[in-house]
Chains A and B, each alone.
Chain A
């Protein structure tokens, strides 16, 4: 069967996967029947990795071991303000990694951000594979338009760790526009209004002959559906406190239920005008006194509680449009993206501001993945989407630092990629034998005000008067927006280069190791025969151990190796039996080692028992 490429929207709160079937993108539902999967990864007490809904459902009660919204961290250096802002806001542990990157602690394990994103990608991949009935190795993954090179690189790394060849990274607004078929239909400007679970983005795209250019993009990485939920949670908790003098938010179980219920009510209110929130026995004070929460909420109440949030998105749109010098009437279309745009008030205010009816699909949280799948199909099979040409632009200017701390731009912002550009520089001192190339991105003329992407040294230059030795610096940006920079000594031809990966925070060998590690997992969880083999092996071991158990019990009866230790061993056998019955690859992996230890111990005990009695 022909290799297919899937499209993945790796979102801050939810991820979504789609594949092009015939000419239509199909969004694939997960096992629970949902078409989006929470981008949440957690570690349970028994060391089991939880991904998706199951992880989200325990995000409050197991807050310290649950990573969510890691997209806000991906590809960012530890010292960046964004990371520090997240650190202050989340209950899970963030620490500085060995390369100035971010590591996340769940239970006793440290994870890099791409690794955690990889678990989500792996889940999306598995959902697609189950649906398609074939393995999938190629994917197009979307990122926000403002993602810099490091963030894009880190997203690619995540794909690699998940065993996916990320054949292209594309911008989310571009993907949404593709899903609407705008590449063919429209020549002109469109606005993409994307209000998701944790972030808000607005982008203006200019589409000419199927080429998409991001003209302007802005947003707020801390404004989204969760803020709406929180308003509702606070309203419910305050009402409850007034009546019962208890703050539900102080109790993790109550808060978890409150959050779940608030989000559900919010979503319900997009289609009905009134809904009930019912949380029986949400908390108790002392023995036998249970408190129930029962409340009715109307759509207009929700709108009232969250109006300022919705207005803030409009305010950002206004500033962005002004900055870009664009009037609403210059736009051909306005597109709604993100689950929160199902809220009628959001649609209403967007329509008002842009003075037109926005395009909305029934499922605005699925259009980005749909667009990505269209792009994926076009890339693996040009015939599938013949006249689609998709080009993106650089979101930031790129250049190097020159004498005096100035920023010398080589590639301007909004340049269509792929692209390459060279410039010749010279030495600044007499007898200078090496030059340091320091790469930045940003719009300021002062290099230090821009973002450092990486640096390298070209040495072995001929001793000469300043300005005599010439060095050619070349910037290249691939179609994914990945930057490589090289410097060449024009006299000797000696060359140095880097691919800007520094801000991904992972070294090549680390990525390779992680990919190998999760590759093993993938192989284990995908290849049925492998699981079956392991299951049979473990089953044999369990059978043997269970067979020896009575003998062991007999020998050990009344010895210092007491019943309690035997109980631990029995628990291991129970776990192993369960994993065997469940055909649970992860469980089998987990029990293999303790089971082997147990069995060896049993064999030893029985042998020595035999010696003693024989």
Chain B
């Protein structure tokens, strides 16, 4: 009888994940390789070795920056929301993710161009809040000097952008537009834009799903869960991260989250956007 190495393999794979989370790609790879040596037929070990080698090569070629060493990327989302409150420009641009995330991003990722400011300066002046300076990443737009019409116009544009991008198979901007629209709806001052955004949930879900890709692929943590706040992510994201074991597929993760499917898909898309997770190809 060969000795039972399954526990040892599981521990090695696990330790590899921890290295990977902390951007110690070579240590992770070496643990996974050891695991594969113990059992050459272990599909999980094989997949991880392939993933680790590819990642190491990317780093070598300067095509991948480990997330923890990357300069802190300003999430496009607070920027967008803050820009909504800027009076002078009549166009705001959601930052191009390609610029933020380095050359690896798909060239088809266009920046979203959004008109967000009002062309009714008289009314704007009447708003008392507009006299004060506004923090860059506010929790709510309620206190911000934005006009309901501006918000509505932005929401409409985001919806349009989401639909167009999805139609052109540009999943990343589609998902970003969906996220922005949802955040807008959550933070918009009364009367809000729920009437616009709610009916578009099916569209948004499609956008998020397209952005996540193959539902059988298995996500793993790419950053320590502790650091999620730096990416503007909340404990729901942390919860989903805690369920990732490299074996559970996106689809199973969504089903076993206990969240509403829409919420689970949305949070996973946010994790992916923040590069807080990596996605392994499906198990055979």
- The residue of chain A having its C-beta at the shortest distance from the C-beta of B230 within the complex is A288
- Judged by a CB distance under 8 angstroms, whether B5 is at the interface is no
- Contacting pair B256 A284 (CB below 8 A): no
B residues in contact with A282, CB < 8 Å: 235, 238
A298 to chain B, nearest CB (A): 21
CA distance A523 to B215 in the complex (A): 25
Grouping DSSP codes into helix (H, G, I), strand (E, B) and loop, the B interface class, with mixed when no group exceeds half, is helix
For B, the interface residue count at a CB cutoff of 8 angstroms equals 35
Grouping DSSP codes into helix (H, G, I), strand (E, B) and loop, the A interface class, with mixed when no group exceeds half, is mixed
- Contacting pair B242 A279 (CB below 8 A): yes
Among A50, A251, A284, find the residue whose CB has the most chain B CB atoms closer than 10 A: A284
Other-chain contact of A568, B139, B202, B247, B258 (Cβ < 8 Å):
B202
Q: A45-B261, A58-B257 are in contact. Are A281 and B203 (CB under 8 A)?
A: no
- Contacting pair A564 B202 (CB below 8 A): yes
- Judged by a CB distance under 8 angstroms, whether A574 is at the interface is yes
- Judged by a CB distance under 8 angstroms, whether A464 is at the interface is no
B residues in contact with A290, CB < 8 Å: 226, 228-229, 235, 238
Other-chain contact of B238, A46, A48, A63, A281 (Cβ < 8 Å):
A281
Q: A48-B255, A564-B199, A564-B202 are in contact. Are A292 and B229 (CB under 8 A)?
A: no
Other-chain contact of B202, A55, A60, A62, A571 (Cβ < 8 Å):
A571
A282 to chain B, nearest CB (A): 7
- Contacting pair A281 B228 (CB below 8 A): yes
A residues in contact with B257, CB < 8 Å: 58, 61
- Contacting pair B206 A578 (CB below 8 A): no
A residues in contact with B200, CB < 8 Å: 564, 567
- Judged by a CB distance under 8 angstroms, whether B243 is at the interface is yes
- Contacting pair A45 B260 (CB below 8 A): yes
CA distance A571 to B255 in the complex (A): 17
- Judged by a CB distance under 8 angstroms, whether A33 is at the interface is yes
- Judged by a CB distance under 8 angstroms, whether A22 is at the interface is no
- Judged by a CB distance under 8 angstroms, whether A267 is at the interface is no
CA distance A159 to B241 in the complex (A): 37
Q: A257-B239, A582-B215 are in contact. Are A50 and B229 (CB under 8 A)?
A: no
Q: A55-B256, A58-B257 are in contact. Are A567 and B206 (CB under 8 A)?
A: yes
- Contacting pair A257 B242 (CB below 8 A): yes
B residues in contact with A63, CB < 8 Å: 258
- Judged by a CB distance under 8 angstroms, whether A283 is at the interface is yes
Other-chain contact of A61, B203, B226, B247, B259 (Cβ < 8 Å):
B259
Q: A281-B229, A289-B229, A564-B202 are in contact. Are A57 and B234 (CB under 8 A)?
A: no
- In chain A between 245 and 261, which residues have their CB closer than 8 angstroms to a CB of chain B? 251-254, 256-257
A310 to chain B, nearest CB (A): 26
- Judged by a CB distance under 8 angstroms, whether B272 is at the interface is no
- Judged by a CB distance under 8 angstroms, whether A54 is at the interface is yes
- In chain B between 135 and 190, which residues have their CB closer than 8 angstroms to a CB of chain A? 139, 163
B167 to chain A, nearest CB (A): 9
- Contacting pair B226 A570 (CB below 8 A): no
Q: A256-B239, A290-B238 are in contact. Are A32 and B229 (CB under 8 A)?
A: no
- In chain A between 563 and 614, which residues have their CB closer than 8 angstroms to a CB of chain B? 563-564, 567-568, 570-571, 574, 578, 582
B166 to chain A, nearest CB (A): 9
- Contacting pair B203 A574 (CB below 8 A): no
CA distance A281 to B139 in the complex (A): 20
CA distance A495 to B224 in the complex (A): 74
- Judged by a CB distance under 8 angstroms, whether B252 is at the interface is yes
- Judged by a CB distance under 8 angstroms, whether A287 is at the interface is yes
- In chain B between 213 and 230, which residues have their CB closer than 8 angstroms to a CB of chain A? 215-216, 224-226, 228-229
- Judged by a CB distance under 8 angstroms, whether B127 is at the interface is no
B residues in contact with A567, CB < 8 Å: 200, 202-203, 206
- Judged by a CB distance under 8 angstroms, whether B24 is at the interface is no
- The residue of chain B having its C-beta at the shortest distance from the C-beta of A280 within the complex is B225
- Judged by a CB distance under 8 angstroms, whether A415 is at the interface is no
Other-chain contact of B239, A33, A55, A253 (Cβ < 8 Å):
A253
CA distance A178 to B120 in the complex (A): 86
- Judged by a CB distance under 8 angstroms, whether B6 is at the interface is yes
- The residue of chain A having its C-beta at the shortest distance from the C-beta of B202 within the complex is A567
- Judged by a CB distance under 8 angstroms, whether B97 is at the interface is no
- Contacting pair B256 A50 (CB below 8 A): yes
- The residue of chain A having its C-beta at the shortest distance from the C-beta of B249 within the complex is A582
- Contacting pair A281 B255 (CB below 8 A): no
- Judged by a CB distance under 8 angstroms, whether B266 is at the interface is no
CA distance A251 to B242 in the complex (A): 15
B1 to chain A, nearest CB (A): 12
- Contacting pair B216 A582 (CB below 8 A): yes
A residues in contact with B31, CB < 8 Å: none
Q: List 12 A-B contacts (CB under 8 A).
A: A45-B260, A48-B255, A60-B258, A256-B258, A279-B242, A281-B226, A281-B228, A281-B238, A290-B228, A563-B163, A570-B202, A582-B216
Binding site for B on A (CB under 8 A): 32-33, 44-46, 48, 50, 54-55, 57-58, 60-63, 251-254, 256-257, 279-284, 287-290, 292, 563-564, 567-568, 570-571, 574, 578, 582
Taking A44-B261, A45-B260 as known contacts, 10 extra A-B pairs with beta carbons closer than 8 A to each other, sorted by chain A number, are A57-B243, A253-B235, A253-B236, A280-B226, A283-B235, A284-B234, A290-B238, A568-B202, A570-B206, A578-B251
The 3 closest A-B CB pairs, nearest first, are A61-B258, A62-B258, A281-B238
